[in-house]
Amino acid sequence: MRFDLLAGTISLPLASVPHAPVVLVFDSGLGGLTVLAEVQRARPDARVVYAADDAAFPYGDLTETALVERVIAVMDRLITRHAPDLVVIACNTASTLVLPALRRQFAIPFVGTVPPIKPAAAATRSGLVSVLATPGTVRRDYTRDLIETYAGACAVTLVGATRLAGFAEAELAGAPVKDADLAAEIAPCFVRAGEARTDVVVLACTHYPLLLRRFERLAPWPVTWIDPAPAIARRMAQLLGPAIPEVGGAPAVAAFTGGDRITPALRGALAARGLDAVTVEAMPLRRQ
């Protein structure tokens, strides 16, 4: 699979969108909220639907076959209900496994998410770069291909954090984890090699920027943290074309497929991001 480092597999720009576009931002849970903010900033005229397939969270627990089938089924329902002009897959795991199938199934553009390894390699001065990801992303051949292609001159440490996505979900739900637990998850990112030490960390899961302020406080030394969300929004804007002047977007909507973890604290966090309308479009996961 060929990836565009502006955050997605290559797609042609839309011929024209004569109305304020509808953009669907999709993730397994709450990580895509980091992308949502950049999407809204890039296209304030858009009507945005944030869709969280929380009934199947975390996607890393599914087999590849089950994940592809699940995302296609959920996407079919979402596209039928919301008629988006463009879909942002704000999830590394879903992007790498499901984008080709989504493009075959649906005749609308999809923008995916890939670890921003190329900008990390350009930013490092020490040559020591860490990629903080989920175990699934660490295992993917595409991650290693990106490193070989764009960071061959760097020493890259792959860190598959097993609990961080869940910690980010808990944080927004009003149950933040202890500093020590967070520090233990990010500690392998910080590597010394003689006088050199890690100076760039790639956030290769959209959940992780939700915890960025705490990462910065708990890090043993300052590093550059690279968040892919701005590049994803730029790619979306390229595909949609110019914004419609003097048009404000309709209120954003959040749709969950499960809703079991929607606490008052989470509703407050969603409202702070412009998601006052929260719906549950129940779609239980049938585990294989």
| Active-site residue list | 91, 205
3-state secondary structure of 87: strand
Q: What's the angle, vertex CA 162, arms to CA 157 and CA 167, rounded to 5? A: 115
Residue at 189: amino acid letter = C
Q: Which residues contact 195 (CB under 8 A, 6 or more apart)?
A: none
User: What is the rounded distance in angstroms from the CA atom of residue 288 to the CA atom of residue 103?
Assistant: 24
User: What is the rounded distance in angstroms from the CA atom of residue 21 to the CA atom of residue 36?
Assistant: 14
Cis preceding linkage at 220, omega within 30: no
User: What is the rounded distance in angstroms from the CA atom of residue 30 to the CA atom of residue 47?
Assistant: 19
Closest CA to 132 of 207, 192, 62: 207
Closest CA to 77 of 100, 46, 96, 56: 56
C-alpha 10, offset from chain centre: 18
DSSP 95: H
C-beta separation of 236 from 24 below 8 A: no
Strands (E), 172-274: 192-193, 196-197, 200-203, 224-226, 253-256
Residue at 266: amino acid letter = L
Q: Per-residue b/e over 188-207, b at no fewer than 16 CB within 10 Å?
A: ebbbeeeeeebbbbbbbbbb
